[in-house]
Amino acid sequence: MTERAEPGAVAAETSVVPGVGYRRRGWVLAGVAVVLGGVLGFHRLVPNWPGRLGSLIESFLPWGGALVVVLLLVALVRRYAVALVALLLPVGVWVDTFGGLLLPGEEGGGRELVVVQHNVSDENRDPAGTARALIGAGADLVALEELVDPQVAAYEKALAGDYPHHVVRGTVGLWSKHPLSGEQVVDIKPRSIEEGWSRGLRAVVRSPYGDVAAYVAHLPSVRVGVGGLASQRRDESAALLGRAIEGESVEPVILLGDLNGVVEDRGLRPLTSQLAFAESGFAFSFPAAFPLARIDQVMARSAAVGHIRTLPATGSDHLPVVARVTLE
């Protein structure tokens, strides 16, 4: 006579292989690590649609290192061996891409200009104090954006003693210890923006090492929303600025500006494809309260941009950045 199985007996007799779910989670973490390494190494292949997805990822690409650390900690705590091996990929890619920025940079040579770039904010309540803070960097050139009345006069007065030469066009300006010539507006206005918008200038700096073409620019802002990254105007303005610099006859060239983008962002390719940028230093400059990205840039042609760093906060929502530019 066959005995009737008690309720739940089948479930009790069904064995669960120990560690299967545990190992599965290790493989999932390994998969995430491989995907992260792929994004870090091949971000140019990420399509820029919808919502300029590629540019959005590139804007925060250095922070991929923080994700690597989180994954590494989880893998160590849970002892996921396969995940630890897979994490070698994103670690290697991140170090190869950004590791050099952690180095202090080489000592400057004789043919060197120190430059400061700062978006001073049109809501800055202490322009004189901001100017004094910038003077302390001992720079040869100081580029400012978001210059509005009556703040312009305050900057001119505060900087005059250390920087006897300056030019202001629209809302951007350049102060120099060395004589300036050939001052002119650089038209980087997108077609969709109305008249009265002027955010680009060019001047020739008569430096002790010869003439240098200096550009100061403030590209249009970008916004992150539910539709992604709104950077069409910024990208158009970058293309206009790139064409102007491409046609520049004076060498070397130095570009200083709030470009509203990081150097990895493909929207700045018209500039980064022909200009060198900082070899060391992250110098995250925005927002000043909790800097997440360096959108204030120093770039150059026929010159090398050495270590870049931020200065202490001023009355602006940006941090100033200072860099050494060694002329060829």
Contact criterion met (CB below 8 Å) for 178 and 207: yes
* Intervals of the chain under pLDDT 70: 1-23, 105-109
Q: pTM of the entire structure?
A: 0.88
Residue 20 has what pLDDT? 59
**Whose CA is closest to 43, among 28, 30, 56, 29?**
56
Residue 9 has what pLDDT? 47
Residue 22 has what pLDDT? 60
Residue 110 has what pLDDT? 80
Residue 14 has what pLDDT? 43
Question: What does the buried/exposed string (b/e) look like for 183-206 if buried means 16 or more CB atoms within 10 Å of the residue's CB?
Answer: beebebbbeeeeeeebbbbbbbbe
Contact criterion met (CB below 8 Å) for 166 and 175: yes
Residue 19 has what pLDDT? 58
